[in-house]
Amino acid sequence: MFSGIVQETGKVKEFLKQKDIYNLSIDCSSMLVSNLQKGASIAVNGVCLTVKDTNPEILRFDLVEETIERTNFSDIKPGDNVNLERSLKMGDELGGHLVSGHIHGVSKVISLKVKDHSWDVEFSVEAFMKDYIFNKGYVAINGCSLTVGKVTKESFIIHLIPETLSITNLFQLKEGSTVNVELDQNTVVIADTVKKFLNDKD
């Protein structure tokens, strides 16, 4: 599990396909990989990936085709910045909301309004997401825990503060950018339970 509080951004060093596996290497700080064990989980742009081995300042992962198809890794290339977060430990402060690292889908930036110190970013909504995104609810964008602003049938708005823009890769967003979206699991469970209850009564 993760908190959705991005610890740092890493830079994609290599992204290669070998038969049915994609090999991803990411440059990061020595602090992030300190005492990191093989098999540990790290959220990369919100996607829970398993560490292949440890080497100071380099993270290596294997990805399967399904991960590529369901996320914005289909667009990733060397030199890109990615959000990184190590998994939670018992007793860690939960500054965001519980995030599993299992991406529900992707959204595209419809519009972006840059203000003096903050950004208003409008994202598209896939049809199946509409029942789970609410005003003032939670959503994880590229692994970053964020509060939802205005919601319409076709989109939702996120307000980005300077701190978020400074420590994540969201500062690179532009119209047409694709982001990974993880819905708040508590919201999904509650909404699905209510729908099942109402359907059973019919």
**Same structural domain for residues 63 and 128?**
no
The boundaries of the domain holding residue 46 are 8-86
Q: Is the residue at 94 inside a domain?
A: no
Asked whether residue 135 falls in the same domain as residue 168, the answer is yes
Domain end call among 86, 117, 145: 86
- For 70-102, write each residue's pLDDT tens digit: 999 999 999 999 999 999 887 777 777 889 999
Spatial separation of the C-alpha atoms in residues 101 and 3, rounded to whole Å: 10
CATH code where residue 74 lies: 2.40.30.20
List pLDDT tens digits, range 25-77: 999 998 998 888 899 999 999 999 999 986 767 899 999 999 999 999 999 99
pTM: 0.93
Which pLDDT score, from 0 to 100, does residue 198 have? Answer: 81
Clarify whether residues 136 and 49 are in a common domain.
Answer: no
